[in-house]
Amino acid sequence: MQMLTLAAFAGAVSLLADHGIQLPKQLVSWGAILFCGIFCSSVAFWLQARAQQHLGAFQVAMILMLEPVFATLLTCGVLGEQLSTQAYIGIAMIIGAIAIINTRLKTLT
């Protein structure tokens, strides 16, 4: 439902733009669009929803909090991206927040 809503909204917004919809002319562009739409979005969200059924709320929250960290590290490993100081600070803040949450939960139980 989320993907259909996003597609409908993006389509409506693109129709309102001055230039209208401009479709790609190259086959490789269509392949990239289909690959990203199917595997990077639909299959990824489906797998995430399936996995969340077998985890507790706290575990899911931790994984979702670490998602930007995983994405950043993946771009460094795969694409050779160089992290800025702000990125390191952001990663440290996310991991620090997770550590604080875990510490507080241990004291409550």
CA distance 56 to 50: 12
How many angstroms separate the Cα of 41 from the Cα of each of 31, 34, 64, 73, 109? 14, 10, 16, 19, 37
Asked which of 25-29, 37-41, 81-85 is least confident by mean pLDDT, the reply is 37-41
Q: Is 108 exposed, middle or buried (0-12, 13-18, 19+ CB in 10 A)?
A: exposed
Model confidence pLDDT, tens digit, residues 28-63: 999 998 998 888 888 888 888 898 899 887 788 888
Q: Tell me, what's the pLDDT at 58? A: 79
Binning pLDDT at 50, 70 and 90, where does residue 89 land? very high
pTM surpassing 0.75?
no
Tell whether the model's pLDDT for residue 84 goes beyond 70: yes
